[in-house]
Chains A and B, each alone.
Chain A
Amino acid sequence: MNRRHFMKHLAGQSALAGAAGAFAQTMAANAQALKKSGKACILMWMGGGPSTMDIWDLKPGAATGGEFKPIQTAAPGVEICEHMPMTAKIMDKISIIRSMSTREADHNRGRYYMHTGYVPNPNVTHPSYGSVLAKTLGDPTATLPPFVSVGGGSVGPGFLGMGYAPLVVNSNGQIRNIKGFVDQDRLMQRMWLLDGVEKKFIGDRRGGLASDHQSVLKKTLSLMTSNQMEAFRVQQEDPATLERYGEDGFGRGLLMARRLVQEGVPFVEVNYGGWDNHQGIFPTLKDTKLPLIDRGISALVEDLSARGMLENTVVMWMGEFSRTPRINAESGRDHWARAWSVMAGGGSIKGGRAVGTTSADGTSVTSDPYSAEDLMASVCQGLGISLKTTFTSKTGRPMKIANGGKVINELFS
């Protein structure tokens, strides 16, 4: 019983049932083309809420301005933190939105909101960015899962169903339980026996659950035995590349993201946490966190650009919120969602922009405020996804892809 024989055998079984979880979607005419277009998104998730006033939108004159100074960048008129010199050099390729203003300053709520564009609701669990884009951009016949989360989990697929849950990988490329405990031949034998047992049950049952299981088993087996698993093995890159991205979890995660996108994965989330700096914020940022993200962000953007991938890959950088302009008694900053920055670029998003303005002390937005929904709408625009795309939750209510968010025009003009 060899693998090919077995897979053919399985293919003859009943067609894939609908994905677990009820959904229907209306798609724009170019939706099918979108799936094969190679469009992808890489989200850099900064868990804890990074102080964007110390990174992207400095206020050197203010009493709340902190210890860092701004430096000029490759984008005329746009200045960022002095501890991000490599990123300063590629600011012509990416943009900042400084006028984010949101209302969720709690870690869990903020994380949910920034990932879904919806506020937590006891009746519905909304799908994460990754799940939404995996569903919209992913090729259902692909072996690699369409949503990968590196170095930590993400927010889940909600009503889109577990078929769009992230595959969680650590930055060494290890996926839990990917290796079987018997050899290939014996595994094939086992799958053949399993298929025999499953067929009977599928025949007996009316529901799709039993055949859903079979289709997932098939996908799992494909994943375990696929050559495409090599995409996770970052150490195959040449030493210069490994060094340029940085031999840390974040750098390796970004390099893995690039490799996965090359293999057709439409969404990769790379986690780098530890930003909840209620105490001693400035040494933490200066000595550890900023040099690391500076190296990683610039490496990724340069690499994507050099490979001609940036025009099809949206890159995003954000946390659940930012931090207070006021410095507290422990030389830290606390949570602040009223005025903060995110970074977005790639796809059809124009680089070199700093969208929006904030007050001199950094406490408020002085131009049009933007929400998570607006950011999501802009990311969709950047990827060529129609904002008319809807999904239907289990309650039967249609939900728009970016929850009615408006495109941030300054990113496209």
Chain B
Amino acid sequence: KSAWLQQFVHSFGTEENNEASTFNGAIPQSLMMMNGDLMRQATVAEKGTFLHRVAYHHQWNDRVKIKHLYLAALGRQPTRGEMRQTEQAQRSRTGETVAVLEDVWWALLNSNEFIINH
């Protein structure tokens, strides 16, 4: 994870030469995190990716899949509130389980917790 995040740090050269992981308020950096190519590649459940392995795991139900995403990104379980939120997301988009997992993964990778704790 560290190595992957470093890619963001390097491809966005800051004037200050700060560690870009100390989130410092730049819109350009935010745009890159949200919309950049690296993020796009990382959040599509294509064959061979971690996300694909989780999304299409035969034995895991949705709750377990979500837990694995949280563990991988943040090193913790989702809270009850977070779990409720993802379940709500899945209910509102029945049949699109994989898409919802992609959305959760995107949210985790864009979160302050992930960025600051790397």
Which of A93-101, A198-206, A252-260, A343-351 binds B? Answer: A198-206
User: Which residues of chain A are within 8 angstroms of B110 by Cβ–Cβ distance?
Assistant: 190, 194, 217
For residue A304, CB closer than 8 A to chain B, the reply is no
Docked CA distance A247–B24 (Å): 36
Task: State which residues 72-87 of B face A: CB under 8 Å.
Answer: 74, 79, 81-82, 85-86
Contact (Cβ within 8 A) A165 B107: no
Residues 11-26 of B contacting A (Cβ, < 8 Å): 14-16, 22-26
Q: Are B79 and A200 touching (Cβ within 8 A)?
A: yes
B6 at the interface (CB under 8 A from A): no
B98 CB-CB contact with A under 8 Å: no
Q: Is A311 an interface residue (CB 8 A)?
A: no
A135 to chain B, nearest CB (A): 13
**Is B116 a contact partner of A210 (Cβ separation < 8 A)?**
yes
Question: B28-36, B47-55, B56-64: which one contacts chain A?
Answer: B28-36
Given A165-B15, A186-B103, A214-B112: A181 in contact with B31 (beta carbons within 8 A): no
Report chain B residues within 8 Å CB of A209.
22-23, 112, 116
Please judge, given known A-B contacts A177-B34, A177-B35, A190-B106, whether A198 and B113 are in contact too, CB under 8 Å. yes
Q: Within 8 Å of chain A (Cβ to Cβ): is B9? A: no
| CB of B108 closer than 8 Å to a CB of A | yes
Segment at the interface with B among A155-163, A272-280, A375-383 = A155-163
User: B18: nearest residue on chain A (CB-CB)?
Assistant: A162
Q: For residue B104, which residues in chain A have a CB less than 8 angstroms away from its CB?
A: 193
Neighbouring A residues of B28 by C-beta, 8 Å: 165, 167-168, 175-177
Classify the interface of chain B: helix, strand, loop or mixed.
helix
Cβ of B31: which chain A residues have Cβ within 8 Å of it?
175-178, 220, 224
B27 at the interface (CB under 8 A from A): yes
Question: Does A329 interact with chain B (Cβ within 8 Å)?
Answer: no
**Smallest distance from the beta carbon of B77 to chain A beta carbons, Å?**
12
A180 touches B89 (CB 8 A): no
Q: Are A162 and B113 in contact (CB under 8 A)?
A: no
Residue among A125, A196, A209 facing the most chain B CB atoms (10 A cut-off): A196
Nearest B residue (CB) for A178: B31
- A294 surroundings in chain B (CB, below 8 A): none
Can you list, as one digit per residue, whether each of A195-228 has a CB less than 8 Å from chain B (1) or not (0)?
Answer: 0111011100100011111111101100110000
Query: Residue B91 at the A interface, CB < 8 A?
Result: no
Q: With A196-B81, A197-B113 in contact, is A180–B34 under 8 Å at CB?
A: yes
Show the binding face of B for A, using Cβ within 8 Å: 14-16, 22-32, 34-36, 40, 74, 79, 81-82, 85-86, 89, 93, 99, 103-104, 106-108, 110-113, 115-116
**Interface, chain A (partner B; CB < 8 A):** 19-21, 125, 145, 153, 155-158, 161-163, 165, 167-168, 175-181, 186, 189-190, 192-194, 196-198, 200-202, 205, 209-217, 219-220, 223-224
A-B contact pairs, 23 of them (CB 8 A): A20-B24, A125-B16, A155-B15, A157-B15, A162-B16, A162-B24, A162-B29, A163-B25, A165-B25, A176-B28, A177-B32, A178-B31, A190-B103, A190-B106, A193-B106, A194-B110, A201-B116, A209-B22, A211-B112, A212-B23, A213-B115, A216-B26, A223-B27
Q: What 7 additional pairs, Cβ within 8 angstroms, besides A167-B27, A213-B112?
A: A21-B25, A163-B25, A178-B35, A201-B111, A209-B23, A216-B30, A224-B35
